[in-house]
Structure 1
């Protein structure tokens, strides 16, 4: 089957499954709404902040506070896109129609990643403009140094989270197992490693912690992160590439 036919087929599958559409919708709503709430709280509490906190206050990053929950929906989206066919048994039919497993896998991932990119960028720009409107006098402008990079980076971050999840789901096949690995990894392991002094250096190189630096405009006071915003995103890209490579190898070698 030609690549264009595979892409068309995967697009039809994604848009016809209600769960994948809902997860993307939730990603937008949760990210924007929580970002708006945190921005409102930050504006009210700014006057009582310490001098150190004021110096490191980042209006742009504040409007992205909802990313912590928004990425949860993107993880679910990435897992469902790949593993739904395994859980329903439709994978046998799909591989019979597209025997070239590499073409099948990357056709699926390319379509889902493109959709995640559109949703991610839309979410990032919405979260930014809504958050800045709420911040009032504390707001940043899209034309300020580093702000446009951070906003676009927010969209790329959400996209890469979804694509990483696709790679993991391709390796594990089961949606429950994939979510059982990804959720603790991002919301427990990463948090613990990043907040314990003995493991902080390791935590900085995990995909979410490294990738999120692309959304920062004002670095925290005393920050000694050994890479910049684009370097952090580059580390995240390496994680994604490793997950996709693992998924590709396993999909090529094992039975459906």
Structure 2
């Protein structure tokens, strides 16, 4: 046999051996690749995992506890101040200014109104908390790490919103419980009149509606923060919607009779809608005498609830769209 034939046979044998090895290696890699893909799908971040991460992030921030603690303290402080004013006026003769020998009975509806109104100031702090919860991701560039760990932006935004809502709800529950305790201390020794039939709705509105309203304000603030992606811009928007806008509309409405219809627009703002809802459309005689002279439409308490829901939905959905579509700064 010639040398050429021997070399040809050797090359053919080597080629066949190499091809067999490559085929066997590829066959071994396919199951490994499938196992890797299955493992990758298993370790993919779930919604509950994303929510847990956002809860832990908020828990680790000092600003969370400072703002939520301040909100609860404001609820208690406002309740204490209003309760003191209510009980003090019950011991004074308005016409003479002298102290009465026997304090006048306190109206139960006024005491419930004290609790319901204690959250108006705290709502601003809760709004700042909601804004900072999402804008801090952008101001510290932590959003890059957050979206690397969870590239599904919609899930990230929803998880962040639910985490903020849960913390705000807890703050509202704690605040209303503490405010109730303070109010109970102030009314000791006073006679309290019972609620009438049409006034009983203020109890569920205060006990359940108060924490829910605080939660809704936080969600609206998250939306404003997502829209602006700036702490300054988001907080400014919250201040305008919860403090400035309704005041301007109400002042202009009272000052200029030709535009008194602006009073209705004032009741369509978030803070007025919140206060009107918590007030349950139950007014004292003094307030009723004032509102009876107004020649513009004032929504009922349940209508104000829907108005506030509309504001929350618009802000939150706007924040979702911007978070999902806009590039990271």
Tell me whether the two structures share a fold, i.e. TM-score over 0.5: yes
CA-CA distance at 1:142 after TM superposition:
9.5
Task: Find the counterpart in structure 1 of residue 313 from structure 2.
Answer: 241
Q: 1:237 to 1:122 in 2, by over 3 A?
A: same
The question of whether the paired residues in 1 share the 8 Å contact of 2:135 and 2:226 is answered with yes
Task: Find the counterpart in structure 2 of residue 111 from structure 1.
Answer: 163
Aligned match of 2:89 in 38, 42, 45?
45
The question of whether the paired residues in 1 share the 8 Å contact of 2:68 and 2:129 is answered with yes
- 1:17 and 1:241 map into 2 onto residues whose CA distance is 27
- 1:66 and 1:122 map into 2 onto residues whose CA distance is 13
Number of aligned positions between the proteins: 253
Task: Find the counterpart in structure 1 of residue 99 from structure 2.
Answer: none
Greater alpha carbon shift after TM alignment, 173-182 vs 192-201: 192-201
CA-CA distance at 1:154 after TM superposition:
1.6
Report 1 or 2 for greater relative contact order, CA contacts < 8 Å, sequence distance ≥ 6.
1
> Normalization by structure 2: what TM-score?
0.70
Task: Find the counterpart in structure 1 of residue 263 from structure 2.
Answer: 200
Aligned match of 2:138 in 73, 86, 103?
86
> Normalization by structure 1: what TM-score?
0.88
Task: Find the counterpart in structure 2 of residue 102 from structure 1.
Answer: 154
Which structure would you say has the larger Rg? 2
The question of whether the paired residues in 1 share the 8 Å contact of 2:117 and 2:279 is answered with no
Task: Find the counterpart in structure 1 of residue 75 from structure 2.
Answer: 31
Matched, 1:215 2:278: yes
The question of whether the paired residues in 1 share the 8 Å contact of 2:224 and 2:316 is answered with yes
C-alpha distance after superposition, 1:48-89 (max 9, x if no partner): 559xxx99x722122344323211210111011111111100
- 1:133 and 1:110 map into 2 onto residues whose CA distance is 35
Over the aligned positions, Cα root-mean-square deviation in angstroms equals 2.6
CA-CA distance at 1:139 after TM superposition:
4.9
SS in 1 for 2:288: coil
- 1:90 and 1:250 map into 2 onto residues whose CA distance is 17
Which consecutive residues of structure 1, in runs of 5 or more, have no partner in the other structure?
A: none
Task: Find the counterpart in structure 1 of residue 34 from structure 2.
Answer: none
C-alpha distance after superposition, 1:29-64 (max 9, x if no partner): 1111121112101221244559xxx99x72212234
Task: Find the counterpart in structure 1 of residue 245 from structure 2.
Answer: 189
Which consecutive residues of structure 2, in runs of 5 or more, have no partner in the other structure?
A: 1-44, 96-105, 255-259
C-alpha distance after superposition, 1:218-250 (max 9, x if no partner): 223154764332221121011100001100111
Q: 1:3 to 1:213 in 2, by over 3 A?
A: same
The question of whether the paired residues in 2 share the 8 Å contact of 1:170 and 1:251 is answered with yes
